[in-house]
Structure 1
Amino acid sequence: MYGEPALSEGFTVLPYANPDAPRAGTIRLAEPGGFDSLKPWVLKGNAAWAVGVHVTETLMYRTLDEPFTLYGLLAQSVDVAPDRGWVEFTLRPEARFSDGTPVTVEDVMWSYETLGTQGHPRYHGAWSKVASMEQTGERSLRITFSEKDRELPMLMGMRPVLKKAQWQGKDFSASSLEAPIGSGPYLVDAVDPGRSITFRRNPDYWGRDLAVNRGRNNLDVIRYDYFGDANAMFEAFKAGEVTVWRELSALKWDRDYNFPLIQRGDAVKAEIPHARPSGIMGLVMNTRNPLFADWRVRQAMIEAFNFRFINATLNGGKDKRITSYFANSDLAMLPGPATGHEAELLQPFAAELPPGTIEGYTLPEGSDRALDRAGLRRSIQLLAEAGWTVRDGVLQNAEGRPFAFEILLNQSGTAMRTASETQQIADIYVQALRNLGMQTRITLLDPAQFVQRTNAFQFDMTWYERALSLSPGNEQLLYWGSAAADQPGSRNWMGMKSPAAEAVIAEMVNSESEADFTSSVRALDRILTAGRYVIPVGYSPVSRLAHAADLRYPVQTTPLYGDWPGFMPELWWQEAEE
């Protein structure tokens, strides 16, 4: 997007991969919940997401060290118009699907159109900006865009390429347990629906000697076992049935790792640093519900959430507070008022933005005691301004409607929090809300029901996690855009519809300098944070992985993103027994 790639033409290996890693071994990973589909590219079903990682490939490879750079994978070369109004890809002649048939331009064009029209909603936005797609040579195609968007050439390089002959004539939008035929390094080897899925390295993988692949995809077997909850997953690791465990609690990391597997040296602990944004995690309020439509009510809910006490109780105070959506990075909004280009982007929308967006916004400090009296007093004042007062111990509006709502939780936990942690956080919070006269109930659902309800936005408040990268772009519209607010399955769970957010996202994807890009992301960060949609919790600037001692990763060359998709198991290997 900006400047030149860090790696020059003719590079032989990625800087964070180990080209001398042995190619052998097995890794067993744990997943919560279950799955009933092998198609992670559609909305229907609860898919085994790893299929999309290990079995299929994209035209370009997203590097873990350079946020704005892609290198060729299925594509041998790429040409981009000076104004980025079109992109042309040329396929490698040696690219093959696992059944030995070549990857063709026809496969690419069919995949892009099918994903853009019948696939998951995350593919629809970019496809809607495609004016035409045509084959320009035996192995080349050109995609022309209908509107200005400098990121689109990159997005077109990151769509999965599927085998047309496998899916043509079938309802692509339906879930399926049919094993996809991909061009990637692994094959689906064994499937026990809802319980486990095993991938085996393809010995005939066409791309094993590419520079972007040297030192990657080293393990012969990758197996994912599914468990009912995090406790069962952890016990499986302690028993040696799972070989990697990602610990999310700093307190448990320090306190609970004295079991025999660690004591014998059969497993070791590793902390992997990263420089990626914190993203957002916490309890999201659904503004489609009139109860949470008023920013004053949402601020009152934030004031009542005593993060300081919760963090001390559950994590020994070790987690850092998520202060904004892009915290822990240079993209984060700065303290105090917006200035320069950032202020210029926000000023046209000043009248409609909540207080603090331009002037500066900070989260309440909280108290080290369970009852944060100062926070509750501020909550009561804000609620009164919004028309809610306590009568006979019940918070209600002028019509006598009580302030009652449901907190929806996944009983199997999430990617970043165990079910017990989210339950404890919600329990402490509900106790505080009772002091305000609110009537709150917590509902636990199994993963399938949780996905179904959140896809349909059928919740008042729920646990929300959204990882964010150092190269945000068009995907932000799927997270926060107005169209996404009404699109089932989108990630705009809060239901926000903000012309200001959409304007700065447009500026982001069309910025011609990194400085302007950074200003636009900081402006978006202000809109999201001061919008008060999520009650944020904490994050860790390191990933904590306990793993079998014979499993290794490149310790000295950990990528910028750290423990991020594409790192584990892709860069790992297993040492042979001595």
Structure 2
Amino acid sequence: MIAPMRRGLLASLAILWGGMALAEPQHGIAMYGEPALPPDFVSLPYANPDAPKGGRVVFGASGAFDSLNPFIQKGNPAVGFAALTVETLMGRSYDEPFTLYGLLAESVETDEARTWVEFTLRPEAKFADGSPVTPEDVIWSFETLGTQGHGRYAAAWAKVAKSVITGPNKVKFTFNTEDRELPLIMGLRPVLKKAQWDGKDFTASGFDAPIGSGPYVVGDYKAGVFVSYQRNPNWWGKDLPFYRGLHNFDEIRYEYFGDATVIFEAFKAGELTTYTEASPVDWDIKYDFPALTAGEVVKSEIPHGRPSGIEGFAMNTRKPLFADWRVREALITVFNFELVNKTINDSKLPRIASYFSNSILGADMAQPASAGELALLEPFKADLPPGTLEGYTLPASDGTESNRKALRAAMALLEEAGWSVAEDGKLKNAKGEVFAFEILLQQGQENMIDAANIYIEALKPLGIDARLTVVDGAQYVERTGAYDFDMTHYIRALSLSPGNEQTLYWGSKGFTEPGTRNWMGVNSPAADAMIATMLAARSPEDFTTAVHALDRVLTAGRYVIPMWYLDRSRIAHAKHLHYPEKLPLYGDFLGFNPDVWWSEE
């Protein structure tokens, strides 16, 4: 982690964990303690309150879209719709790991135990059509999303025992579960206009765009080709301190292309005004086109202090082939990361060591579990795979194509699991079934395709028949949503404030329920228990220990073949596009570009 970022994180955590619990309406809420910013703050610390308004920014998107409703299970929604057109009761500060400030709600109140939360709406808050945002809209939105919307909303809504209107602009939610994050989750739920959906099927995919109260509205679009968002000149929130210096562009446009290669060519040609580069190698060698050498395009690097998250090839443990941890360990062992990283990244990117590595939330996987971690995991000891408690580090290769030592280790594990090489050279089990699987990838994932091809060759000496299938975006979404794959590219960004979303990522219900993000099929009572412990934690020490324990369960579970992570974002952009000098703790957070950027010709 970059030192200044770490110091900022520690300072923020000290503030968050140190204060008293809320006892009366407040302008913001922290998971623990009090918000860092006072009620009369002028702007967020990483925003430029004097940023000029106007201009446009044009992004490239890969694939296509067939919906303007991102809140349901069906369809492939247009990029940017939820973030730009719909608001929530409260908004996240990306300079504090666990703090929200009022948006549609002017205040929030909860009890010490967080068994309920009450929001007071701003009377001036309005939808894009000019109608007021009411408590009825809030309750209808939360209930509809929780019962008919995308699966990601269901878990939190199931923890709501009662929702009532307590005043002209007040709404209160009472919970049936001990979960200290629930008041914050309610604050971040999208608020939609109830009257729009009278007599309509909310679950039907299409281009009937939900009416929101956000800074932008859909200006124009062509299905699968482009979508343009126009800044609403009558937006109710334009003078709110939280928004000062944010949402500065008159137009935010997304142009759709077949894959990342075409997107980059469009950027070079001037069709796009910004491009985020994922490859450090390409960053060094491919940015010599005329617009850049002429100074019309500039390169910016944005460091961050976020956890690495997880990215790699996920094994679907719902498939009997991947049910045995020894098989998964063998497949991780034979993956020649050093060769793949050198081939694709010139060895310039670090490998993911655990799900929360690169942050203080990451477990020290090279060491045995601490006393606190051990106490939490002891009840599940009998069912935990080796390395969870003793310590586990990823197998490293020698970087050569032959990688003989790794092949021998992998073969030994496979033989323990009941697999052996038959006379025909194929790896088979006692039933004579061949060890064969498909790696499913999406068009445009060129680096992953290259990595998969190297991996397939590495598997051949073991007698494993792996094949690569590349599909378009729509097929990929459909198949992964239904867990219809053997192995696929998996990426989950993780924050410094992990909470209920962890259930969506790897809660055991996702083993059978479709639509979660638990693609690999984690079905671990220990993981469920660590998530519950996190949510009930009352101190920073207890919270961090629970996250460390969860990190151990996931990493030693060997569900994903880990690859690399980016410790900074690399953004090339037109020279008239600017961002503030003061960077938030999260660096290039989700929405950083375009939220705090502006155009200055």
> Normalised by the shorter chain, which TM-score bucket?
over 0.9
Match of 1:175 in 2: 205
Residues 138 and 192 in structure 2, CA contact (< 8 A), matched pair in contact too:
yes
- 1:573 pairs with 2:594: no
- 1:207 pairs with 2:232: no
Shift in Å at residue 371 of structure 1?
1.9
Shift in Å at residue 227 of structure 1?
0.4
Q: Distance in 2 between matches of 1:517 and 1:566?
A: 27
Aligned pairs, number: 569
Alignment equivalent of 1:500, drawn from 511, 526, 543 = 526
Shift in Å at residue 259 of structure 1?
0.7
Shift in Å at residue 432 of structure 1?
0.4
Q: Distance in 2 between matches of 1:408 and 1:484?
A: 20
Match of 1:136 in 2: 166
Q: Distance in 2 between matches of 1:81 and 1:173?
A: 35
* Runs (4+) off by over 6 Å: none
- 1:312 pairs with 2:342: yes
- 1:403 pairs with 2:435: yes
Residues 325 and 525 in structure 1, CA contact (< 8 A), matched pair in contact too:
yes
Deviations along 1:515-545, one digit per CA (max 9) or x if unpaired, are 1101000100000000000001011201000
Counterpart amino acid of 2:430?
A
Counterpart amino acid of 2:591?
G
Alignment equivalent of 2:298, drawn from 268, 275, 290 = 268
Deviations along 1:356-385, one digit per CA (max 9) or x if unpaired, are 001111001212212211111100000000
Shift in Å at residue 67 of structure 1?
1.1
Counterpart amino acid of 2:575?
A
Match of 1:415 in 2: none
Alignment equivalent of 1:467, drawn from 493, 513, 520 = 493
Deviations along 1:167-208, one digit per CA (max 9) or x if unpaired, are 232111111202332100001000101110000001111011
Counterpart amino acid of 1:395?
L
Q: Distance in 1 between matches of 2:300 and 2:401?
A: 33
Alignment equivalent of 1:363, drawn from 384, 390, 394 = 394
Deviations along 1:36-55, one digit per CA (max 9) or x if unpaired, are 00000001000113110100
Counterpart amino acid of 2:382?
A
Match of 1:482 in 2: 508
Where 1:166 maps in the other structure, the secondary structure is helix
Deviations along 1:311-369, one digit per CA (max 9) or x if unpaired, are 01111100100010001100001131011211111111111000000111100121221
Shift in Å at residue 165 of structure 1?
1.0
Q: Distance in 2 between matches of 1:312 and 1:565?
A: 28
Q: How does 1:340-489 map to 2 (within 5 A)?
A: 340-392=371-423, 393-412=425-444, 419-489=445-515
Q: Distance in 1 between matches of 2:394 and 2:34?
A: 39
Match of 1:81 in 2: 111
Larger displacement relative to structure 2 (233-242 or 335-344): 335-344
Q: Distance in 1 between matches of 2:349 and 2:297?
A: 25
TM-score (norm 2): 0.94
Residues 24 and 219 in structure 1, CA contact (< 8 A), matched pair in contact too:
yes
Shift in Å at residue 111 of structure 1?
0.2
Match of 1:557 in 2: 582
Shift in Å at residue 573 of structure 1?
0.2
- Give unpaired runs (5+ residues) of structure 1: 413-418
Counterpart amino acid of 1:558?
L
Residues 342 and 523 in structure 1, CA contact (< 8 A), matched pair in contact too:
yes
Where 1:320 maps in the other structure, the secondary structure is coil
Shift in Å at residue 82 of structure 1?
1.7
Q: Distance in 1 between matches of 2:319 and 2:585?
A: 39
- 1:236 pairs with 2:266: yes
Shift in Å at residue 550 of structure 1?
0.4
Where 1:405 maps in the other structure, the secondary structure is strand
Q: Distance in 1 between matches of 2:419 and 2:335?
A: 18
Shift in Å at residue 566 of structure 1?
2.7
Counterpart amino acid of 1:544?
R
Residues 478 and 492 in structure 1, CA contact (< 8 A), matched pair in contact too:
yes
Counterpart amino acid of 1:271?
E
Match of 2:69 in 1: 39
Counterpart amino acid of 2:379?
P
Match of 1:416 in 2: none
Deviations along 1:244-286, one digit per CA (max 9) or x if unpaired, are 0000001111111111010010000000000001110010000
Residues 408 and 443 in structure 1, CA contact (< 8 A), matched pair in contact too:
yes
Where 1:327 maps in the other structure, the secondary structure is coil
Residues 408 and 444 in structure 1, CA contact (< 8 A), matched pair in contact too:
yes
Residues 64 and 566 in structure 1, CA contact (< 8 A), matched pair in contact too:
no
Where 2:593 maps in the other structure, the secondary structure is coil
Where 1:178 maps in the other structure, the secondary structure is coil
Shift in Å at residue 162 of structure 1?
0.3
Shift in Å at residue 565 of structure 1?
1.1
Counterpart amino acid of 2:77?
A
Aligned-pair Cα RMSD in Å: 0.7
Shift in Å at residue 431 of structure 1?
0.1
Shift in Å at residue 2 of structure 1?
1.4
Match of 1:27 in 2: 57
Where 1:442 maps in the other structure, the secondary structure is strand
Q: How does 1:115-130 map to 2 (within 5 A)?
A: 115-130=145-160
Residues 306 and 359 in structure 2, CA contact (< 8 A), matched pair in contact too:
yes
Alignment equivalent of 1:541, drawn from 567, 575, 600 = 567
Q: Distance in 2 between matches of 1:8 and 1:367?
A: 54
Match of 2:252 in 1: 222
Residues 23 and 573 in structure 1, CA contact (< 8 A), matched pair in contact too:
yes
Where 1:538 maps in the other structure, the secondary structure is coil
Residues 79 and 254 in structure 2, CA contact (< 8 A), matched pair in contact too:
no
Q: Distance in 2 between matches of 1:391 and 1:294?
A: 20
Counterpart amino acid of 2:489?
W
Counterpart amino acid of 1:370?
E
Q: Distance in 2 between matches of 1:162 and 1:9?
A: 27
Counterpart amino acid of 2:547?
V
- 1:250 pairs with 2:280: yes
Where 1:57 maps in the other structure, the secondary structure is coil
Where 1:568 maps in the other structure, the secondary structure is helix
Q: Distance in 2 between matches of 1:165 and 1:4?
A: 36
Counterpart amino acid of 1:499?
P
Match of 1:98 in 2: 128
Shift in Å at residue 456 of structure 1?
0.5
TM-score (norm 1): 0.98
**Identity of counterpart residues, as a percentage?**
58
Residues 90 and 141 in structure 1, CA contact (< 8 A), matched pair in contact too:
yes
Residues 274 and 571 in structure 2, CA contact (< 8 A), matched pair in contact too:
yes
Alignment equivalent of 2:217, drawn from 171, 187, 196 = 187
Residues 507 and 517 in structure 1, CA contact (< 8 A), matched pair in contact too:
yes
